[in-house]
Amino acid sequence: MGLIVGYQGHGIGYLGLACGFGIITGWFIASFIGALIGLFVTMINGFKFKYFRTLFFDISDVNGKIKFTIRKFTPISSYLTIKTGLTDKEDKMISVMHIAVMWAVSILIFAMAHFGTQGRVDDLYEDNVYTFLWGMAFAVVLDSVFITFLAISAHVNAKKSLRGRLKQIGKAWINGSRLEDMALPPHEQLGLKTTKYDILSYEGLRFMQKLWLGSYSELLPIVECLEGNLAEGYLRSEATIYNIIIFYYSYINPNAEKAVYYFGEAEDDLKHDMDSNGRRTMAYYEYYILGQKEQAKKTAMDGLRVIDKFSICDEEREQERKLLEYILYEAE
């Protein structure tokens, strides 16, 4: 009897591992599917492709050319597409399309897991393969529930959440309003519902605004807020925030220890970032932290060569040009 009990306990342990691996795998798959569907839905609605990132792979539009690179591993798949003149009606319609397709795919995966176990229901809890499939299907469906909740919450609480405020700012900026002229108080003063990711996005915009206005004394609290809200471990989706922090500790408030630390976290992405803002961050780091004068000049020139293809906001191009020209002047 002891042998039988011991065997059953051992089997339950394996089943638990199988289910756990299934859920983890399902999470990766759900993230990949969600990003892929979002990319598809936005592009058929006239958005411009910027990048798609998953696991070790990065597909990006680099100055008008599609580039495929192998990058540092990231557990979350992400994408970026941009469109000018996006109306609230179009935005809601795209969200509904995204959710609808996500649920269709999730139900399909769940059905495949269910019918794949038909005829073996009696053995389901003793078969690691099928337990793995159920765990994976569960994770995919749970992700769809989460995305649906976020989408509905974003629209229902558009005026009560920081994410809603960010969408308003983004639309206004893309459609010609200047970031310098916008009222952007610290997120704490807004009293809006938020997440760490929303805080990073909003405070990142505030950093750019203060930098462009020359209000350098107001940047430290923003940078400290960004540092405090970064995820545990480097995520490629936060690469822009790392660029901001590296630039700040390289030039605005030189701190070699911090600059080197954050650069080490984001090095793979920053070295492959051929957009003007990425080249600018790299140039300032090379000049002020590494003392590599000639390399900094070359990097800054690379950024200037593609400045006209960078961003869809005239203000951002204008400011990046000034920063790139300044480092070239300093390095002479």
136-193 residue pLDDT tens: 666 677 777 777 776 666 666 666 788 888 888 888 888 788 999 999 999 999 888 8
Q: Kindly state the average pLDDT of the residues 186-202.
A: 90
Q: Are residues 115 and 216 in the same domain?
A: no
CA of 78: how far to CAs of 12, 51, 55, 150, in Å?
35, 8, 10, 16
Q: Are residues 90 and 211 in the same domain?
A: no
State pLDDT tens for residues 288-313: 999 999 999 999 999 998 888 777 78
In whole angstroms, what is the distance from residue 267 CA to residue 64 CA? 23
Instruction: Check pLDDT > 90 for residue 246.
Output: yes
Residue 77 domain flag: no
Q: Are residues 125 and 191 in the same domain?
A: no
CB atoms within 10 A of CB 156: 11
- The pTM (predicted TM-score) of the whole model is 0.67
Q: Are 199 and 229 in contact (CB under 8 A)?
A: yes
What 196-203 contacts at long range (C-beta under 8 Å, 24+ apart), as own/partner pairs, is 196/229, 196/231, 197/237, 198/161, 198/162, 198/163, 198/166, 199/162, 199/225, 199/229, 200/226, 200/229, 200/230, 200/238, 200/241, 201/166, 202/162, 202/165, 202/166, 202/169, 203/229
Task: Identify the domain containing residue 188 by its residue range.
Answer: 162-331
CB atoms within 10 A of CB 146: 12
Residue 150 domain flag: yes
Residue 67 domain flag: no
Residue 196 domain flag: yes
Residue 65 domain flag: no
Q: Domain count of the chain?
A: 2
Q: Are residues 144 and 246 in the same domain?
A: no
